[in-house]
Amino acid sequence: MPRQNTSHGARTRESILRAAADAASVDGLDGLSIGRLAAGLDMSKSGLFAHFGSKEDLQLATIEEARQRYAREVIAPGQAEGPGVNRIYALCESFLSYVERAVFPGGCFFAAAMAEFDCKAPGPVRERIAECQHQWMATLEHAVEEALAMGELRTGSDPRQLAFELEAALLAANWYFHLYSDATYFDRSRRAVRARLVSEATPAGLRSLKAGG
């Protein structure tokens, strides 16, 4: 019985966090409401609150749920591509696909969280959001560094700058698509990403990018 109860509790917690991450992508982390989550999951407020000691605990656990979902839907598919220019492009494509497929109903969870917390006072929630975003940018930067080491990007390419510019194109697609309900912004982002990679690629990198489609 204790094992069954623990398993049931874990499944309940997972259900709460999935619903919380979806809701936060639309209403924000500060908009998370124990009452609304409980009603949506057909639970009592006390039953839901028993899984978290405070609203901040719920927010931090929600961020972790979103991080794991992002890793599955964006980072893992992108890194499945072999190292080089094509891996950089694959990571960008995975991000755009994740937004197109509405993995979160409000678009990119972390784009929304950054916009919500960028001007707020430092604290555990803001710091965790920043840490997750740093991990994503480090993934892009590492992919650029690999392509440089392989000779697929020209000497002098700046991994941090290139990652920043690619991220700008991705975030713009996320925000403009949701503001205008216009999917052509994904095409614009894809063209911007490819053009930026072409501008930095060596002949070997261009051949690799062309071969990868």
> Tokens standing for 198?
């072409």
CA distance 108 to 42: 27
> Tokens standing for 87?
């891996």
Q: Which residue has the higher pLDDT, 172 or 54?
A: 172
Q: Which of 2-6, 24-28, 88-92, 200-204 has the lowest mean pLDDT?
A: 2-6
CA 164 to chain centre: 15
Full-model pTM: 0.91
Closest residue by Cα to residue 84 from 142, 40, 169: 142
pLDDT above 70: residue 76:
yes
Q: Which residue has the higher pLDDT, 51 or 97?
A: 97
Q: How many CB atoms lie within 10 A of CB 15?
A: 14
> Tokens standing for 52?
């978290």
Residues 6+ apart with CB under 8 A from 151: 202, 204, 205
Which pLDDT score, from 0 to 100, does residue 177 have?
97
CA distance 209 to 54: 48
Q: pLDDT of 176-196, one tens digit each?
A: 999 999 999 999 999 999 999
Instruction: List, in order of start, the domains of the chain with CATH numbers.
Output: 60-211 (1.10.357.10)
Which pLDDT score, from 0 to 100, does residue 50 have?
77
CA distance 148 to 62: 36
DSSP-derived secondary structure for the chain: -HHHHHHHHHHHHHHHHHHHHHHHHHH-STT--HHHHHHHTT--HHHHHTT-SSHHHHHHHHHHHHHHHHIIIIIHHHHTSPSSHHHHHHHHHHHHHHHHTTSSTTS-HHHHHHHHHTTSPP-HHHHHHHHHHHHHHHHHHHHHHHHHHTT-B-TT--HHHHHHHHHHHHHHHHHHHHHHT-THHHHHHHHHHHHHHHHHB-HHHHHHHHHT-
Q: pLDDT of 105-118, one tens digit each?
A: 999 999 999 999 99
Average pLDDT score over residue span 126-140? 98
pLDDT above 90: residue 3:
no
Q: Are 85 and 208 contacting, i.e. CB atoms less than 8 angstroms apart?
A: yes
Average pLDDT score over residue span 7-29? 89
Which pLDDT score, from 0 to 100, does residue 38 have?
78
Closest residue by Cα to residue 22 from 131, 81, 108, 95: 108
